[in-house]
Amino acid sequence: MELNKEAFIKVGQALVEQAPLLSNKILAQRFDRHPQMSGLPLDRKQSLAYIQEFIKLLGSTLTLEGDQAEIVLMNWAEQTALYAVDYGQSLDVAMLPLPFIRKEILILIEDLAIIESFSVKDVMCVIKNIDINLDFASHTFSETYVKNHQMIVNEKNQALHELSAPIVPLFDGIGVLPLIGEINHERAQILQIRTLERCVENKIFSLVIDLSGVHTLTPEVLQSIFLLIDSLRLLGVRVIVTGIRPEIALTASSFGINMRDVQTNGNLKQALSALGYGKLIDNKNRPPVLR
């Protein structure tokens, strides 16, 4: 038995025509059930526009044949997901309107079926078609969102890798590694690899590791830093550690970490003096002589 195409046409037209009214109702229900959390980016005007456009697409694709509806909805879902990622909206927040969209569409179909005297079979076929399109669009949206969000995360991790070992060349063969902020296990591992690589790339034979910007270190992370020092020595790099805070020294001694074999200085200037560059630093800071 052939499907009643008239039911698909009339439901599709109703969705397109009533999209502005439905989108307002959907957005109101979404915020009633899930109030906006402070600090989360959300443009209500833009959200309303996307919901309205989505409802119109669902209506217009009801009369398309074959995989044409899937292509249209896939393109829309991909573009919308990319916008959500760029805008900084989380996936769970972006998906919140979906159940309310489904609910309002079902109410519209129910009301229209009574007015137009659609058969039960016609109603079920229309609902099945819309359900499939809704699920397909939401899956494409989620898949695109996760893929592109992961790309951004990977890029940020790569940037973190680059910043985890910010060796600053001072003179030929001499550099300083200023460590700032919290150093966790992951950063410590990155630090070991990138520091060794950069010392080889920049031909560093003397490196000052400055810990003055680090307030606390766990014993495990502190041990990894001393492992880094040993690895640098194997490469022929002379290492001087500066800026060790009392609490870091206490942590090292209380856990039996031997610092006796590590050359330490109070600050960068003292370390450079130990490397034979103290006079250059003093002359640089000395005011010019008036004649």
**pLDDT at residue 279, as a whole number:** 58
Kindly calculate the radius of gyration of the chain based on its CA atoms and give it in whole angstroms: 32
The answer to whether the CB of 138 falls within 8 A of the CB of 98 is yes
State percent of the chain over pLDDT 90: 41
Phi, psi of 105, deg, nearest 5: -65, -40
**pLDDT at residue 10, as a whole number:** 94
Average pLDDT on 269-281 reads 76
Nearest to 192 by CA among 247, 230, 141, 143: 230
Q: Exposed, middle or buried: residue 106 (CB in 10 Å: 0-12, 13-18, 19+)?
A: middle
- Between CA 58 and CA 115 the distance in angstroms is 21
- Between CA 27 and CA 190 the distance in angstroms is 45
The answer to whether the CB of 170 falls within 8 A of the CB of 269 is no
Which band of pLDDT confidence, cut at 50, 70 and 90, is reported for residue 84? confident
Amino acid at residue number 88: G
- Provide the 8-state DSSP code for 28: H
The model's pLDDT over 158-187, given as tens digits with 9 standing for 90+, comes to: 666 555 667 888 888 999 998 887 777 777
State percent of the chain over pLDDT 70: 88
The model's pLDDT over 128-163, given as tens digits with 9 standing for 90+, comes to: 999 999 998 999 999 999 999 888 877 776 666 555
Nearest to 26 by CA among 116, 106, 118, 92: 106
Structure tokens of 14? 């109703």
* pTM of this structure: 0.59
